[in-house]
Amino acid sequence: MGYPTLLQRPLPLLRHRGGVCHIIAVRDDGGAIVSIVPLWILFLTILSALLLGSLPQCRAMSFYDLEAVNIDGYRVKLSAYKGKVTLVVNVASKCGLTDRMYKELVSVRESYARRGFEVLAFPCNQFHDQEPDSNADIKGFARSYNATFPLFAKTTVKRPMCTHDPSANSLLCGPTSEECCAFNNQIYEYLMSISNKPVEWNFAKFLIGRDGGLIKRYQPVEGPRTFTREIERALASADTGDGDGDGDGDEDGDGDGDGDEDEDDMSHGSSDGGSNPTTESFSDEM
- The residues that are catalytic are 95
Beta strands in 124-224 (DSSP E): 205-208, 214-218
DSSP SS3 for 267: coil
227-257 per-residue burial string, b: 16 or more CB within 10 A, e: under 16: bbbbbbbbbbbebbbbeebbbebebeeeeeb
- Asked if 110 contacts 65 with a C-beta cutoff of 8 angstroms, the reply is no
CA distance 277 to 78: 28
Neighbours of 48 (CB within 10 A): 10
Beta strands in 70-150 (DSSP E): 75-77, 85-91, 117-123
CA distance 218 to 274: 11
Beta strands in the chain (DSSP E): 14-17, 20-24, 36-38, 67-69, 75-77, 85-91, 117-123, 205-208, 214-218
- Asked if 22 contacts 36 with a C-beta cutoff of 8 angstroms, the reply is yes
- Asked if 152 contacts 123 with a C-beta cutoff of 8 angstroms, the reply is yes
Neighbours of 54 (CB within 10 A): 7
CA distance 139 to 55: 45
**How long, in residues, is the chain?**
286
